[in-house]
Structure 1
Amino acid sequence: MASTTPAAITVAGLRKAYGSKQVLDGVDLTVPAGTIFALLGPNGAGKTTIVHILSTLIRADGGEIAVGGFDVGHEAEQVRGRIGLTGQFSAVDALLTGEENLALMGRLRHLPAAELKRRTAELLERFDLVEAARKPLATYSGGMRRRLDLAMTLMGDPEIIFLDEPTTGLDPRSRRTMWEIIQGLAARGVTIFLTTQYLDEADHLADRIAVLDQGRIVAEGTPAELKRLVPGGHIRLTFGDLSALERAAVVLDSDARDDDALTLEVAGDDGVRSLKDVLDRLERASIEVSDLSVQTPNLDDVFLALTGQKDSASQKETVR
């Protein structure tokens, strides 16, 4: 069933080349409003180029691109009024305090004095920067700088935010904090377009993921849908004794067994259906299971399978 949620971003046939190098070659994307969309791809795949085109920093060579309902090529000013961008590196002024950085961004956004003061105080509170607000940026950790960078992006109260690898270089605690902030923004109805090198980040945050390779989208879907593209899921069963293990191996027609650990592995690519079938067969044979676990491919497996091909264009898979 097609989504009834309006699209915040639509891209059709996007192309971009630098000299003889075709960086983007017919990219199609649709990002529903109020969702978190993650774009994955190996280094050099063109992720940052897409972000720069969608945020009006560079022009596309071809294609139809709309952000916030406005054409990126002909209505760039209207697009800029509705978006925010946090790049790979913190765009903060090291000579200013955190509070001064926010105030500077507010003035660039032409906020009235009262609104600027209110937004600055609100964002310092939301991003846990109140105590550090009047301290020089030299005293800020990497995580604090990234939080300030995102806070500056929010000074204009954007409907759509582009986050280009926002947690690169952060420690695990700071990454988790950023994740919570991103999820909080989406809960308020903000659309998040995220690029990342961390597959667990995309898995944790994204409502939908696209994989970009050699300038084309080679797969798109929810995290669960993408994982189902890659075979290799299995059910691992543990039994109480060797006799039960041997009987189960016959009933389930599997030789993937470990007699020392008393475990047996059975293919389970159909998820719940496979699990139900295995348990039904064991129950009919009166074989008890001590423990079981379902092992499914993760996004690392998906990423390697989809981007490990020399000709990824011929491997395109789109999940509807």
Structure 2
Amino acid sequence: MTAQPAISVRGVEKRFKDHAVLRGVDLDVAAGSIVALLGSNGAGKTTLVRILATLLPADAGTATVHGFDVARQPDEVRESISLTGQFAAVDGVLTGRENLVLVARLRHLPDPGAVADALLARFSLTEAGGRRAATYSGGMRRRLDIAMSLIGDPPVIFLDEPTTGLDPQARLEVWAAVRELAAAGTTVLLTTQYLDEAEQLADRIAVLHEGTIIRSGTLAELKRLLPPARVEYVEKQPTLEDVFLALVATPGKDPS
């Protein structure tokens, strides 16, 4: 990680008519880290991401992405980022490989086929690469979507609620893909309303509530805000998610 934040936000405000969505947001994201922006529906997470991705102007405040000012240098910001929204931007008519080749050509990269094949292998989609994307499961479509966002090696990626609507197994597939991004040095700003997702993935967590960041820090730092835990013996029962994942991992076999 470098000393200069990959994303820096100071006093960003946004209002839609009489409704203030962002009320002075301050946020830093270190290069090569995963930061989870945690908040309930309507907290302003997507609005902030759209501002950082130059899709929406802020009413006040400043923001930089990869050293470029979002308001004054939008072209440079767009060259430095990729944005994956809440719904996979995959063309179902095309095969997985054709989706990747198309984006590589749009980015004017040499040898789009080689780029596509490398990403299919990286995201364990090689065998499905020749199938139409419409036949993919939700997790496969999301992995393909993230693979498409990596074409051109953008240093900063925004993932806006990437596991919305996915089943537990598909969520784990996406989590693995996100961890791989950070391991390769990509900076990830992840918005989510799922507490377990932030806990599993993020180096740091920022809590966005009513338009402002009310707390931020590592998971350990945030846990220290509560009173010390009491040690009690509690018989832990498996969750429904535990049961589901055990059953689908060994179909037809008693998980006990």
User: Does the TM-score normalized on the shorter chain lie above 0.5?
Assistant: yes
Q: Does 1:103 align with 2:73?
A: no
Distance, in Å, in 2 between the alignment partners of 1:15 and 1:179 is 31
- Which residue of 2 is the match for residue 32 of structure 1? 30
- Runs of 4+, deviation exceeding 4 Å: none
Indicate the percent of aligned positions where both proteins have the same amino acid. 58
- Which residue of 1 is the match for residue 205 of structure 2? 209
How big is the shift at 1:5? 3.0
Aligned counterpart for 2:177 among listed residues 160, 177, 181: 181
Give the secondary structure class of the aligned counterpart of 1:156.
coil
Aligned counterpart for 2:55 among listed residues 49, 57, 64: 57
Distance, in Å, in 1 between the alignment partners of 2:35 and 2:108 is 30
Aligned counterpart for 1:153 among listed residues 149, 158, 161: 149
Once the two structures are superposed, what CA deviation does each residue of 1:194-241 show, in whole Å capped at 9, x if it has no partner? Answer: 011211110111110010111011111111111111236212279xxx
Give the secondary structure class of the aligned counterpart of 1:234.
coil
Q: Any gaps of 5 or more consecutive residues in structure 1?
A: 239-260, 262-320
- Which residue of 2 is the match for residue 166 of structure 1? 162
Specify the code of the residue in structure 1 equivalent to 2:221: E
- Which residue of 2 is the match for residue 125 of structure 1? 121
Give the secondary structure class of the aligned counterpart of 1:56.
coil
Specify the code of the residue in structure 1 equivalent to 2:72: H
Once the two structures are superposed, what CA deviation does each residue of 1:250-290 show, in whole Å capped at 9, x if it has no partner? Answer: xxxxxxxxxxx9xxxxxxxxxxxxxxxxxxxxxxxxxxxxx
How big is the shift at 1:175? 1.4
Distance, in Å, in 2 between the alignment partners of 1:24 and 1:110 is 36
How big is the shift at 1:4? 6.3
How big is the shift at 1:155? 0.8
Aligned counterpart for 1:83 among listed residues 81, 84, 106: 81
How big is the shift at 1:187? 1.2
Which is greater in Rg?
1
**Contact 2:8/2:29 (8 A) holds in 1:** yes
TM-score scaled by structure 2?
0.88
Distance, in Å, in 2 between the alignment partners of 1:237 and 1:149 is 44
Distance, in Å, in 1 between the alignment partners of 2:115 and 2:2 is 33
Distance, in Å, in 2 between the alignment partners of 1:89 and 1:62 is 29
Distance, in Å, in 2 between the alignment partners of 1:201 and 1:231 is 23
Q: Does 1:7 align with 2:12?
A: no
Once the two structures are superposed, what CA deviation does each residue of 1:152-206 show, in whole Å capped at 9, x if it has no partner? Answer: 1011211011001111222222211211211111111110100112111101111
Distance, in Å, in 2 between the alignment partners of 1:4 and 1:82 is 16
How big is the shift at 1:12? 0.3
How big is the shift at 1:21? 0.6
Distance, in Å, in 2 between the alignment partners of 1:52 and 1:210 is 17
Once the two structures are superposed, what CA deviation does each residue of 1:2-37 show, in whole Å capped at 9, x if it has no partner? Answer: x96321000000000011111001000000100000
- Where relative contact order (Cα < 8 A, 6+ residues apart) is larger, the structure is 2
Matches within 5 A, 1:131-142: 131-142=127-138
Distance, in Å, in 2 between the alignment partners of 1:52 and 1:205 is 22
How big is the shift at 1:149? 0.4
- Which residue of 2 is the match for residue 48 of structure 1? 46
